[in-house]
Amino acid sequence: MGDVAKVAGVSRATASYALRGDPRIVPETAGKVRKAARTLGYTTNLSARSLRSGRNGVIGVAIFELDKAYPSQMSAAISKEVNRKGLQAIVQQTSNSQEGEIAVLKEVTSQLCDGTIFSPGQVSDEEIRALSDNKPMVLLDDFSDEAIFDTVFTPCEAGAKAAILHLVDVGCRHICVLGNSYRPLRALGEPTTVAGRRLKGALEGFAESGMAVTEDDFVQCDQWDFSLARQQVHCLVESGRSFDGLFCMTDSLAFGAIRGLVDCGLRVPDDVAVMGFDGVAEDEYMTPSLSTISVDIEDLAHKAVSLLLKRFEGSDEPFVAEKLTAKFKLVARESTAKRR
């Protein structure tokens, strides 16, 4: 930067101001500095800036798994939204483990980034605060009732409820649910997990439609991935249970489930209608195409980034955590196109 200042014929301080567009520098001077910087191929050293000012224009996105469709598509949407605001995003995977989450926050995100959008799984809000180094943080789907951080939610309850009502609507008489085991609605309270929230929404759907359910209609999946879903569906079918509708708590589960149903010689949707949740790009191209609760990830990204940027501005008012919920759409496709 010293060179740039010299070429432009100003001091280093003036060069610094000019390059960041400080209004105190007259346009003419600023122009000279920018030109000098360009000809010298100068780029600001982010480490130095970060060290001195604590800011570098980089936002961190910490997500559980990068190799699954939904989280990766969400990270991509957030990255794009960050770029749209003229900033850069870096994404990291926590691998769904406590050490992973701690390492990412402590060693990278809170150090190299001005703020973080974080999807927590294994660490408490208090731990997050300790690791955040007092930098702005927006959480994704943190249903704990502490109000320490701004949070954006997936529309778990409303979405799950809509899914059940849709299955009922297309004529299903006996619906199973894949992703969480049963607990009675009145015992559920305000669940603190995504799986709990989706269960609650589903139960509300059953209640509203007047459809009776039993404990056995709900199948727990500790991992929300293809292979376990496939296995669980095999078990469900082999148990002799007869059902004509299946709500899967994520699209991944639905992919595995459909495959499991096909393995057992059942047709989708004629024998069993299947409903997913997420709205990943693959849904439309499956055979059959997958009906789903499509979370508006652009809206989610927009809300998360906006909350974060608002915190950058700082405010004198006492901190009040904001809670926003992303929009969703029910998308009906072949997997629930039942002949009635």
Partner DNA sequence: TTGAAAGCGTTACCAA
Partner DNA sequence: TTGGTAACGCTTTCAA
Which residues, in sequence order, are bridge partners of residue 324? 152
Site mask for a copy of itself (CB under 8 A), range 260-299, x = bound: --x------------------xx-xxxx-x----------
Between residues 14 and 119, which has the closer beta carbon with respect to DNA?
A: 14
Binder of residue 112, out of a copy of itself, DNA, none (CB less than 5 to 8 A by kind): a copy of itself
Task: Report whether 115 contacts 135 (CB < 8 A).
Answer: yes
Positions in 19-58 near a copy of itself (CB under 8 A): 41, 43, 45-48, 50-51, 56-58
Ordered alpha helix ranges (H), the chain: 2-8, 12-19, 27-40, 46-53, 69-84, 98-103, 110-112, 125-132, 156-169, 185-188, 194-209, 226-238, 251-263, 297-313
Task: Report whether 92 contacts 313 (CB < 8 A).
Answer: no
Between residues 107 and 216, which has the closer beta carbon with respect to a copy of itself?
A: 107
- How do beta strands 175-179 and 245-248 pair? parallel
Would you call 138 exposed, middle or buried from its count of C-beta atoms within 10 A (0-12, 13-18, 19+)? buried
Positions in 163-222 near a copy of itself (CB under 8 A): none
> CB of 192: closest distance to DNA in angstroms?
35
Taking CB under 8 A as the criterion, the residue among 256, 269, 276, 279 binding a copy of itself is 256
Binder of residue 42, out of DNA, a copy of itself, none (CB less than 5 to 8 A by kind): DNA
Alpha-carbon distance of 88 to 81, in angstroms, equals 10
The per-residue DSSP string of 242-273 comes to --SEEEESSHHHHHHHHHHHHHTT--TTTT-E
Between residues 5 and 61, which has the closer beta carbon with respect to DNA?
A: 5
> CB of 111: closest distance to a copy of itself in angstroms?
4
Assess 112 for contact with a copy of itself (CB under 8 A).
yes
Burial letters 223-261, b for 16+ CB under 10 A, else e: ebbbebbbebbbebbeeeeebbbbbbbbbbbbbbbbbbb
Between residues 22 and 107, which has the closer beta carbon with respect to a copy of itself?
A: 107
**Which stretches of the chain bind DNA, using CB under 7 A?**
1-2, 9-14, 16-17, 19-20, 24-26, 28-29, 42-45, 48-49, 51-53, 55
> CB of 148: closest distance to a copy of itself in angstroms?
18
Interacting residues toward a copy of itself by CB under 8 A: 41, 43, 45-48, 50-51, 56-58, 65-67, 69, 72-73, 75-77, 79-80, 83, 88-93, 95, 100, 103-104, 106-108, 111-112, 130, 226-227, 230, 255-256, 258-259, 262, 281-282, 284-287, 289
